[in-house]
Structure 1
């Protein structure tokens, strides 16, 4: 059985027993027109079985029209809601969008057919963030021969589809290729800070977590990878120097457990944002201040180092009694203190190699980890719908 028929069969078997509202010819025609313009989202119309839908419209067979329109709607809805590139192919990304179930798709179709506005139902699945909308506008303004820029924008539109639709009214976002962290409140940027990110060999991943506080004068539990790479050798060959740099250690089993004590020479500096996550990636201060003057700032083992860390701390601690004077006093006292935020703040580490500003100007950033090409290749494959394996969640998950 050809893969495309197998995928269609998989989809139909997973559908619930109750039938959705029949597709009218005007509604199906609207869907066909929407699919043909899906490239405005950086997606390829050839991936949505529009020829099948067009044929069904011309045949006058209601069952064939229902199957073809439902299938095209489901494929478009899945990619707008979840992203086109399968989750296991999103290199260095740990973002996961909720998958659309067959029941959810049928509910969307029923609502769209009842309201008569197919486009509005599909549009609501795509990101509404201003940056996504600006990238779409920038893509539409590009000439057809701007191949490199078109590929770049399509890759970044896809990355936006991996992010939560509701990022929260107040959040901290780090854009790795831009080397920038921004604190955003209701769409307004409250603070912008230069950052240092992971080296190509130890890249900073893309993920979401939540900040709950700011740790002043933190200690640093040295990751085993860094113990093996450098700190372990320092301890074995120059233990006095290691102690002078604040390291203490114990041997546990077959591994060396190392902690660097708090202080201005600590690798985390004198401030670390408390944002627990299984990747052990944090935003923190650094004693290596001069590196912020470099244009390309890929120097860390994966964590994100920020300049002016106490200014960022003050901005994040708005609404608490942690003033700059109190922060300075706590740092000077030399003890480890956690200043709790007034409310948790979502943190997003993203990888956007292009952003468009409010005036439509396109800002491009170096693809420091070489991630754009894989996404662009996947999005450019017109036969992808026929060859990719649809997921087990009703064959719809992205």
Structure 2
């Protein structure tokens, strides 16, 4: 290896080591902020505006954009890899003589260093999030920061003291109680084809041990074909209804049955797709929050994989915090979990929920993290939806 290459490799590796601990420490249940949450938002907005001022003076990248496509990783090659290496060289993370159309170990190290600098998981994979960050110009970054700063100040000035905040681009949920941050955790939100809408809503009920009714699209495109092919919906501990009556699915000829005649309900338990807790909202889209039976999914960097509802990494802890105001203590929650049927608790004081679209956030050490524009809303933020008047089929 040449002296220049050694220098760049050392630089990339040092950047990786400096930032990786911060990246990996982010997650569920981080300690509450000492300052009131409104003061925290003020400091975040000021930090973003200051960083935007610095970015606005930087030149635009000379390298062509990598643009969308398959995930790039060590061992692959092609034109998009060539554009990737040009960008890494431009950023000073890769020697210019090592730029080319091969994703080499040196490129892998440079990608990891870039990811760490952006407060992303340093896995060396150039997927949608990393590619978008590499393609972003300083001017686009500055605009993203200023837009988020303005939205944070608006939230600060209008949100109630107690509110559940769901930030879609960062895929996180924060519970602010009496003006102070009580809990922040990872979340899973809707995929781009089934976006989670920007709602202003409220939690009216918490259901312990919920059932899950398969939504119409999943039933039509996935479960009914399984019933026709194998005589089973492929869902653990589920009841299948035909024309409102429970049936043994293996005894029915499903070939001529239309989706509207079928209902599939998964019974409560650890196997349930909603986990053990559901937080009911009031919107007409039947969007709600819930746990999950697949906790491994929270390890993903990009968690836009639901059908619109929001899955919570620590639904039980959030439920216990909210239920404490109803004098339902953790020992009673435990007894409710041990019962075989759903347990409904109506909140005497519904808890406001705000879905926001903040594509820039500030971490505890003051570092700024930019999040992917998962629904392409940066140029036009959707308006909040109206309250519910109906109860459509469930989503997850």
* Range class of TM-score, shorter chain: 0.5 to 0.7
Residue of structure 2 in register with 1:144 after alignment: 57
Q: CA deviation at 1:219?
A: 1.4
Q: CA deviation at 1:164?
A: 8.7
- Measure, in 2, the Cα distance between the counterparts of 1:358 and 1:140: 21
- Is 1:347 aligned to residue 353 of structure 2? yes
Q: CA deviation at 1:309?
A: 1.2
Q: CA deviation at 1:298?
A: 1.8
Q: CA deviation at 1:304?
A: 0.8
- Measure, in 2, the Cα distance between the counterparts of 1:365 and 1:260: 35
Q: CA deviation at 1:222?
A: 2.3
Please point out which of 202, 206, 215 is paired with 1:210.
Answer: 202
Residue of structure 1 in register with 2:169 after alignment: 177
After superposing the two structures, state which structure 1 stretch, 191-200 or 358-367, moved more: 358-367
Asked if structure 1 preserves the Cα contact closer than 8 Å seen for 2:41 and 2:153, the reply is no
Compared with structure 1, are the counterparts of its residues 258 and 163 closer, same or farther at alpha carbon in structure 2 (3 Å cutoff)? farther
Compared with structure 1, are the counterparts of its residues 225 and 243 closer, same or farther at alpha carbon in structure 2 (3 Å cutoff)? closer
TM-score, with structure 2 as normaliser: 0.56
Q: CA deviation at 1:369?
A: 2.6
Q: More relative contact order in 1 or in 2 (CA 8 Å, sep 6+)?
A: 1
List gaps (5 residues or longer) in structure 2: 1-39, 59-137, 245-257, 382-396
Query: Number of residues paired by the alignment?
Result: 249
Residue of structure 1 in register with 2:329 after alignment: 323
Pairing of 1:5-84 with structure 2 (within 5 A): none
Please point out which of 210, 227, 241 is paired with 1:235.
Answer: 227
SS at match of 1:333: coil
Asked if structure 1 preserves the Cα contact closer than 8 Å seen for 2:212 and 2:273, the reply is yes
- Measure, in 2, the Cα distance between the counterparts of 1:196 and 1:314: 20
Please point out which of 314, 327, 339 is paired with 1:333.
Answer: 339
Please point out which of 289, 292, 306 is paired with 1:300.
Answer: 306
- Measure, in 2, the Cα distance between the counterparts of 1:270 and 1:358: 31
Residue of structure 1 in register with 2:297 after alignment: 291
- Measure, in 2, the Cα distance between the counterparts of 1:357 and 1:244: 40
Compared with structure 1, are the counterparts of its residues 244 and 284 closer, same or farther at alpha carbon in structure 2 (3 Å cutoff)? closer
Residue of structure 2 in register with 1:245 after alignment: 237
Q: 1:163-191, CA deviations, whole angstroms, 9 ceiling, x for partnerless residues? A: 69421110001112212111012442101
- Is 1:269 aligned to residue 261 of structure 2? no
Residue of structure 2 in register with 1:195 after alignment: 187
SS at match of 2:374: coil
Asked if structure 2 preserves the Cα contact closer than 8 Å seen for 1:134 and 1:357, the reply is no
SS at match of 1:230: helix
- Measure, in 1, the Cα distance between the counterparts of 2:50 and 2:340: 51
Q: 1:122-165, CA deviations, whole angstroms, 9 ceiling, x for partnerless residues? A: xxxxxx95354554444345443331211212443465588694
Q: CA deviation at 1:243?
A: 6.8
Asked if structure 2 preserves the Cα contact closer than 8 Å seen for 1:220 and 1:261, the reply is yes
Compared with structure 1, are the counterparts of its residues 161 and 238 closer, same or farther at alpha carbon in structure 2 (3 Å cutoff)? farther
TM-score, with structure 1 as normaliser: 0.56
SS at match of 1:211: strand
SS at match of 1:205: coil
Superposition CA RMSD, Å: 2.9
More helix per residue: 1 or 2?
1
After superposing the two structures, state which structure 1 stretch, 188-197 or 138-147, moved more: 138-147
- Measure, in 2, the Cα distance between the counterparts of 1:302 and 1:279: 9
Q: CA deviation at 1:303?
A: 0.9
Compared with structure 1, are the counterparts of its residues 265 and 358 closer, same or farther at alpha carbon in structure 2 (3 Å cutoff)? closer
Compared with structure 1, are the counterparts of its residues 244 and 296 closer, same or farther at alpha carbon in structure 2 (3 Å cutoff)? closer
Residue of structure 1 in register with 2:95 after alignment: none
